[in-house]
A and B are shown apart, each in its own frame.
Chain A
Amino acid sequence: MPTAVTHFKTNIYECLEALPRYTLDQLYKEPATCLAIFRLLPSLARQFVMSLLFTQPINSPVNLTKSDLRLWVKNEEAALTKFDEALEKLSKLSIMTIDQYGYIQMNSEFRERFRDCLTGGGSHQSFGVPCKKPASDRPDIAFLDRHAMKQWEEILHFMVGTESMSQPSAAVLKVVTRAKLMKEGKDKLVITNKGFQFLLQDVNTQVWAFLIQYLDIADELLQMNVVEVLNFFFMLGSLELGMDYSVKGLTDTQKQLLDDLANFGLAYRRKKGSSRYYPTRLATTLTSGNSAVVSSAVSSSASTTTGEDGATEQGFIIVETNYKLYAYTESKLQISVLRLFCELQTRFANMVYALITRDSVRKALKHGITASQIISYLSSHAHPQMKKRIPLLPPTVVDQIRLWEIERNRLEATEGYLYKEFRNQGDYEMVLKYATNHGFVIWFNERKRMFSVTEEGHEHVRSYIKKKIAQRKTNGGGGSGVGTPNHQNNGSPSILEFLDIEDERKQRIGW
């Protein structure tokens, strides 16, 4: 599922990229974080880091220039593009920067900690403190999977509005409203377009999207330290499923965080304030993209036979060339997601039969779901039987869904302001030229002396005209004329005075 993976990557990557250098340096103090961030880099960048990691003693600089490094890649356009991309990402995350002399500087904090990570040195305890003895009644992996799925699906159910669902915790509510996945309705929260899109993502992307929103809140509302929160996320990603971990060594913030994460289904605690916690699959696959979720679910499916969660993660959808869709699922959640873009026909004990129709897809498109989201949802949830086919989905169906989307885009509405009734061609051309140069013009008609500008351009054009009028007034101009901009869509005309310009005046004011 390359699309899903890249989506996840860019998401967390963008989040990290926006952090200031100081925060990044703080983050690199934990080897677990170094490892997780390292894995987000493009291949070539990872290779550069590895190649330079052990070259010199920690404190001495890497004695290489950018052009030295360039010799390592082939002198081909594709390779050089990759090279530039790699260096750009490295410098954005301030792992490797290039100083003014062209020498490469590797972040010493990162370098030291990442070395520790590979050699197992240091005493940072960043990979979780395991308990001395496993608890006598420690939950097994199947239990953890069920717990994770139950908690996570509760959130999703809440979003879809399935009845008889208990109100989720305050943290969940905050994240959901904050991320605009849901908004205030008449008497309860209702799902938004963004929420619909969210539902179509795979679990891993959903979890990350959720956590990133949580991070925002943590910073502003809960006064948590971003570094500690991120470190904790990355640490969770490096833990082993089914092991006992002790809360010893966690900071207070992180303990508080743990309670919320247990609520989301990322961790399990027997009771609040218990000294042990157990990461669930949602947490341990955080930093590994979603392929790990799929493969591990496949390997564990032998033991959990036909568990609901096993089926959802393995893929259960079969699409035929005649737009018929068979979904082997009992989960209400999956069915409500399918209902977003399919017409459900019949429901059997273990299977739902639905049709993909023009109307159903258009309905989804109206909700703000894009054709590619539908397609990627279908392909990432495809039944193992389907996955053996090349291409995975019937091309007719894929093409038709795209065509239905394009169909809606025949007309594009752009909000704008219309300028008309210029007194003479000169004025018209002058203002039009100004607007064109700044890229504000949406449409113009020279014969009618009209043009319309974008909403953002309107202010600029208006002030430009005002300025010209003022200039002319100071120049003692006379005559009067009106150029009227009309707001096309809401029809609230604002009238501006605009003076006639006569040819000799133009000369005088120095055109």
Chain B
Amino acid sequence: MNVLRDAATVNEDDANLLVLIIDTNPLIWTRLAKSTGLSLKEALRHLMVFINAHLALKHDNEVAVIASHVDVSKFLYPIPNPHKLSEDTDQTMNSNMYQRFKVVNDQVIGNMKELFEDLSKLNSYPDKASSMIAGALSMSLCYINRIMRADEIGHIKPRIFIASVSPDSPNQYISIMNCIFSAQKLGIPIDVCKVHGEDAVFLQQAAHITGGRYLKLPTPQGFLQFLMITFLPDRYTRTYQCLPGEEKVDFGAACFCHKKIIDIGYVCSFFVIHWNNVQLAGLTNLMLASVNEGGLRVVNGIKKLDKSKGRESGGST
């Protein structure tokens, strides 16, 4: 038995850990459900079958589900001490369903209900238009890290799947990018399915950088079918499969001070920060340089970042 610690090499016998991040922003779901006909409830049913399919592929496949809500990211499965959702549902244990599927589905749905019962914070949160993708990503990376450490022989191959509806939140730009680079370093592919709405620039980059798949749902009706064909294959199978065509990736970045997505920006080569105008860049730089006075040379390498030239954002500059 050869022990493979390398995250990049995958074996047919490897187990797969799938971390699902479901964007549950209720405002956007309700708004978009009217126009497209795919409500959160309906989508959740499709996602449950998708989870079951993933668990069916291999007996030791694992799954984790995280809700990326408006103000909070929360684990839906697994949770440390699952209080019996309701005694009576557990008692009438369904003999028509594989026990493992049932446990996961019941917990996810039960916890999802709980999440939606608490709507009090919803009104107080300023950024209603987006969801806590960055938080959910960090949680999933931490979870994956824990599982990988427990698994000494490197048998488990993780990947992340994001079902996204909300538009990008430039507020979270830095944290999302950090998560993406960590995932890239750990060799964890991030798959993104944009269920509703416009292309999400940051998530597109996430899929591109980590070697995952990005798909904007052309029609919401066949959600499950898209999930099955595009996102179900495990990492081993993907080495033999044709990927759906890589579309043009938008490498747009967000300005660090105004938190806006910019087309033309300026990059400091030392701190790798983007600004939307030069004066501001110089100013912040001086401040930073003075903070770092001890031993650091003054930084003046401010470069112009032009999106149209297709330069990658962040790490490469």
Cα distance A73–B12 in the bound complex, in angstroms: 16
**Which A residues touch B3, using CB under 8 A?**
387-388, 390, 392
Partner of A73, one of B58, B60, B91, B241: B241
Chain A 58-93 interface 0/1 with B at a Cβ cutoff of 8 Å (1 = within)? 000000000000011110101100110000000000
Q: Is the CB of B57 within 8 A of A50?
A: yes
Binds B, one of A286-294, A409-417, A449-457: A286-294
Is A125 interfacial (CB 8 A cutoff)?
yes
Chain A 37-53 interface 0/1 with B at a Cβ cutoff of 8 Å (1 = within)? 01100111011001101
Q: Is the CB of B240 within 8 A of A79?
A: yes
Is B276 interfacial (CB 8 A cutoff)?
no
Q: Is the CB of A43 within 8 A of B59?
A: no
Q: Is the CB of B59 within 8 A of A74?
A: no
Cα distance A31–B97 in the bound complex, in angstroms: 9
Q: Is the CB of B98 within 8 A of A32?
A: yes
Is A25 interfacial (CB 8 A cutoff)?
no
Contacts A118-B49, A119-B49: A78 and B240 contacting too (C-beta < 8 A)?
yes
| B105 closest partner in A (C-beta) | A120
Q: Is the CB of B240 within 8 A of A54?
A: no
Q: Report A141 CB to chain B, min CB distance, Å.
A: 15
| A246 closest partner in B (C-beta) | B95
Is A129 interfacial (CB 8 A cutoff)?
yes
Cα distance A94–B7 in the bound complex, in angstroms: 36
**Which A residues touch B60, using CB under 8 A?**
288, 291-292, 295
Cα distance A47–B52 in the bound complex, in angstroms: 14
**Which A residues touch B1, using CB under 8 A?**
1-3, 379-380, 392
Cα distance A295–B152 in the bound complex, in angstroms: 11
Chain B 203-236 interface 0/1 with A at a Cβ cutoff of 8 Å (1 = within)? 0000000000000000000001100110011101
Q: Is the CB of A51 within 8 A of B2?
A: no
Cα distance A392–B224 in the bound complex, in angstroms: 43
Is A335 interfacial (CB 8 A cutoff)?
no
Q: Report A284 CB to chain B, min CB distance, Å.
A: 10
Partner of B225, one of A44, A54, A72, A73: A54
Summed over the interface, the residue pairs from A and B with CB atoms below 8 Å come to a total of 128
Q: Report A265 CB to chain B, min CB distance, Å.
A: 21
Cα distance A46–B96 in the bound complex, in angstroms: 22
Q: Report B91 CB to chain A, min CB distance, Å.
A: 7
Is A238 interfacial (CB 8 A cutoff)?
yes
Q: Report B242 CB to chain A, min CB distance, Å.
A: 6
**Which B residues touch A124, using CB under 8 A?**
96
Q: Is the CB of B56 within 8 A of A118?
A: yes
Contacts A42-B12, A289-B59: A51 and B229 contacting too (C-beta < 8 A)?
yes
Cα distance A440–B225 in the bound complex, in angstroms: 56
Cα distance A98–B233 in the bound complex, in angstroms: 23
Is B53 interfacial (CB 8 A cutoff)?
yes
Within 8 A of B (CB), among A375-413: 379-380, 387-388, 390-392
Is A330 interfacial (CB 8 A cutoff)?
no
Is B102 interfacial (CB 8 A cutoff)?
yes
Is A55 interfacial (CB 8 A cutoff)?
yes
Q: Is the CB of B232 within 8 A of A50?
A: yes
**Which A residues touch B96, using CB under 8 A?**
31, 116, 120-127
Within 8 A of A (CB), among B248-283: none
| A86 closest partner in B (C-beta) | B240
Chain B 151-171 interface 0/1 with A at a Cβ cutoff of 8 Å (1 = within)? 011010000000000000000
Q: Is the CB of B240 within 8 A of A46?
A: no
Q: Report A130 CB to chain B, min CB distance, Å.
A: 4
Chain A 268-306 interface 0/1 with B at a Cβ cutoff of 8 Å (1 = within)? 000000000000000000011101100100000000000
Is A215 interfacial (CB 8 A cutoff)?
no
Within 8 A of A (CB), among B37-73: 49, 52-53, 56-60
**Which B residues touch A390, using CB under 8 A?**
2-3
**Which B residues touch A387, using CB under 8 A?**
3, 152-153
Is B101 interfacial (CB 8 A cutoff)?
yes
Partner of A46, one of B57, B225, B229: B57
| B93 closest partner in A (C-beta) | A130
Partner of A54, one of B91, B228, B234, B241: B228
Is B118 interfacial (CB 8 A cutoff)?
no
Contacts A1-B1, A240-B99, A379-B1: A288 and B57 contacting too (C-beta < 8 A)?
no
Is A5 interfacial (CB 8 A cutoff)?
yes
Is B237 interfacial (CB 8 A cutoff)?
yes
Contacts A50-B232, A71-B242, A392-B1: A35 and B98 contacting too (C-beta < 8 A)?
yes
Is B246 interfacial (CB 8 A cutoff)?
no
Is B89 interfacial (CB 8 A cutoff)?
no
Cα distance A388–B3 in the bound complex, in angstroms: 8
Q: Is the CB of A5 within 8 A of B13?
A: yes
**Which A residues touch B99, using CB under 8 A?**
127, 238-240, 243
30 contacts between A and B (CB under 8 A): A44-B237, A47-B232, A50-B53, A50-B57, A50-B228, A54-B225, A71-B242, A72-B241, A72-B242, A74-B240, A82-B240, A117-B98, A118-B49, A118-B101, A119-B49, A120-B94, A120-B105, A121-B96, A126-B95, A126-B96, A129-B95, A130-B93, A132-B91, A240-B99, A249-B95, A291-B13, A291-B155, A292-B60, A380-B1, A392-B1
Name A's B-contacting residues (CB within 8 A): 1-3, 5, 31-32, 35, 38-39, 42-44, 46-47, 50-51, 53-55, 71-74, 76, 78-79, 82-83, 116-130, 132-133, 238-240, 243, 249, 287-289, 291-292, 295, 379-380, 387-388, 390-392
Other than the given A82-B240, A121-B96, A127-B97, 7 more pairs (CB < 8 A) read: A2-B13, A32-B98, A39-B58, A54-B224, A73-B241, A120-B96, A122-B96
Name B's A-contacting residues (CB within 8 A): 1-3, 11-13, 49, 52-53, 56-60, 91, 93-99, 101-102, 105, 152-153, 155, 224-225, 228-229, 232-234, 236-237, 239-242
